[in-house]
């Protein structure tokens, strides 16, 4: 679950990088606009992944 959340957070961060630098929203462009159901689902998953990733800050690390 942690790895999947991290992947989605990275996708969201890269999308925001594109928005910030080029005013280009890749998710909206690929999936039919910001209001499309698929885009909204992806934005929701990325947001939930960000919330999940907060928990990574407070976990004890396993010693290998």
Instruction: Specify the pTM.
Output: 0.83
Mean pLDDT of 26-30: 95
Mean local confidence (pLDDT), 10-24:
96
CB distance 7 to 61 below 8 Å = no
Q: What percent of the chain is modeled with pLDDT above 90?
A: 84
- If you search the block for the tokens 């396993």, which residue do you land on? 62
Q: Is 36 exposed, middle or buried (0-12, 13-18, 19+ CB in 10 A)?
A: middle
- Rounded to 10 degrees, the C-alpha dihedral 33/35/10/47 comes to 180
Q: What is the pLDDT of residue 37?
A: 96
Residue 62 is predicted with a pLDDT of: 77
């Amino acid at each position: 679950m942690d790895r999947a959340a991290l992947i989605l957070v990275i996708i969201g961060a890269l999308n925001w990088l594109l928005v910030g630098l080029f005013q280009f929203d890749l998710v909206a462009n690929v999936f039919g606009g910001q209001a499309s159901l698929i885009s909204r689902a992806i934005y929701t998953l990325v947001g939930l992944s960000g919330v999940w990733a907060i928990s990574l800050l407070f976990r004890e690390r396993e010693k290998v």
